[in-house]
Amino acid sequence: AVVSTQSTGEDDQITFDNFYRGFMAPYFGCYRCEDSQVALRCMDVDSDGMVDWKEFKVFLIWAGRQYPNVKNKQELLDKAFRHGIIPDMKMELDKIQAARSEEMRSSED
């Protein structure tokens, strides 16, 4: 996928929207869905609203080390999403849901 790296003057950054279109769309149903937004926040380590190459590269390096026999870059990307990014996103969603449940229990008291 060819994606422009629109940034706010910083090199090697990509907007959430462009990152979704270029990399995430095959794995997530819609850009604005909560799952997609949580996954994007998981990738945005410095909370600047952009995905930095170095933030994404961590998942790619991890996938390459965990699955050294990948055949091509698409398979590497698939491993990074299916075994790294998506599980991290699910942990974040679990935290959000637990916090919401706690808020609801607190408000009922």
Tell me what the pLDDT averaged over the chain comes to.
Answer: 84
Three-state SS letters, 30-88: CCCCHHHHHHHHHHCCCCCCEEEHHHHHHHHHHHHHHCCCCCCHHHHHHHHHHHHHHHH
67 or 11: which carries more pLDDT confidence? Answer: 67
The pLDDT tens digits of the residues spanning 41-91 come to 878 878 888 989 888 899 999 999 999 999 999 999 999 999 998 898 888
pLDDT of residue 11: 65
Asked if residue 34 has pLDDT above 90, the reply is no
pLDDT of residue 69: 97
